[in-house]
Amino acid sequence: MTVSSWRSSPRHALAADALVRHVVTFGRVLREVGIEAGPGRISDALAGLDRVELASADDVYYTLRQTLVARHDELELFDRAFAAWFLRAPVRPPGRALPPPPRSRQQLARPSNEAAPSAPEHDGEGSRHELGSSPHELLREKDFAAMTPDEFDRARALIAQIAATRPLRRSRRLRAHPRGDRLDLRRLMRESLATGGDPVERAFRRRRDVPRRLVLLCDVSGSMEAYTRALLLFVHAVLGTGPGVEAFAFGTRLSCLTGDLTTRNPERALERAAAAVNDWGSGTRIGASLKEFNDVYGRRALSRGAVIVIVSDGWERQENSTLGREMARLARAAYAVVWVNPLKGSPEYQPLAGGMRAALPFVDRFLAGHNVRSLEELATVLAGIERRHAA
């Protein structure tokens, strides 16, 4: 088909090569907005279009969508790209492509020294230089918010080492095991062939322990930034231990971090997340964020049987009834709930903030997480955690 005839019948009868070009270019548009549409998918799309009525916009739309998109959360992006490319509608660029506001980048890049509240003067024996050369022990005790960039860099290595252990659950899958508690009938049968059907040697299997799902919900509001960075490095290291770890960031809203954390530098992921979930100045909405988690992810049973770790100072800027109710929902579904509050690192701290008080009845373990040592404690707790409430 020539260009002129294509012009004369723009609606139907796309020439095969024009169609191919069209779809291939559309694939590139999709990749630009972050939808992975590889050659396999493109060829599925073309094969599909070959079988449907090209004059029907609906059928073309669904054929492309079903062959090119594999995730529910990409549907909106796809719709925008489809509108832009095939319907030539003017569209705004997708939200996730927006650069984070410069202020967040600056804020999160390095916690400034002034931002460190009540830097514990007593454990600094001299200038920051001397501290920098002090042994690991001192560094492990130091509050994250009081660390210099150098110290934080060294703490980073320590944090990565801690995260290796994970809570386990019993899998239903069986593995051969000499002291197992179930007969391995298949092996038994084979081995008893030699003895005329008498099972002389008994073969056993037992259930295997597999890592329990771990879900981390990190408060990334301004008051938490120094600690969140450290905790996120921890999360990043835990993610490296295998599947079944999910991480979320929350501020005024909730955002899933898992994909970002596995593929990217954790601190950049944090910057992006903080930019995405914080409306500057409007404060943290813990209850609302937990509600969003329960509604969207809890309903998909992400929290069922999981160990949930919430990292937050518990400063709720809204009424606390939502927080209490959502904590109850969360605790019902979860295997155990751990709350990490860096403020608890201070000996004078009392959980008086309304939000923290509302949440505590539903928390199995309440930990500090303000320095490397307390992260070690967190890792130990996670490795051996038991459900406190039997319900």
Residues contributing to the site for other proteins (CB under 8 A):
36, 38, 40-41, 44, 47-48, 51-53, 58-59, 62-63, 65-67, 69-72, 75, 171-174, 185-186, 188-190, 192-193, 195-197, 210, 243, 294-295, 299-302, 304, 329
Of 211 and 345, which has the nearer Cβ to other proteins? Answer: 211
Distance CA 258, CA 167 (A): 18
In angstroms, give the least distance from the CB of 317 to other proteins: 20
| Nearest Cα to Cα of residue 327 among 285, 369, 292, 360 | 360
In angstroms, give the least distance from the CB of 290 to other proteins: 13
Of 212 and 272, which has the nearer Cβ to other proteins? Answer: 212
In angstroms, give the least distance from the CB of 351 to other proteins: 26
In angstroms, give the least distance from the CB of 185 to other proteins: 4
Of 229 and 291, which has the nearer Cβ to other proteins? Answer: 291
In angstroms, give the least distance from the CB of 279 to other proteins: 21
In angstroms, give the least distance from the CB of 105 to other proteins: 29
Sheet with 168-176, edge to edge strand ranges: 168-176, 204-211, 182-183
Of 149 and 199, which has the nearer Cβ to other proteins? Answer: 199
Is the distance from CB of 248 to CB of 216 less than 8 angstroms? Answer: yes
Of 152 and 335, which has the nearer Cβ to other proteins? Answer: 335
Distance CA 131, CA 168 (A): 38
Of 213 and 344, which has the nearer Cβ to other proteins? Answer: 213
Which string of b and e fits 372-388 if b means at least 16 CB within 10 Å?
bbbbbbbbebbeebeee
CA 128 to chain centre: 35
In angstroms, give the least distance from the CB of 91 to other proteins: 21
Of 33 and 116, which has the nearer Cβ to other proteins? Answer: 33
Of 27 and 48, which has the nearer Cβ to other proteins? Answer: 48
Of 243 and 281, which has the nearer Cβ to other proteins? Answer: 243
In angstroms, give the least distance from the CB of 300 to other proteins: 4
In angstroms, give the least distance from the CB of 58 to other proteins: 5
Torsion of the alpha carbons at 185, 191, 196 and 199, rounded to the nearest 10: -50
Of 39 and 281, which has the nearer Cβ to other proteins? Answer: 39
| Nearest Cα to Cα of residue 288 among 259, 320, 242, 261 | 320
In angstroms, give the least distance from the CB of 69 to other proteins: 6
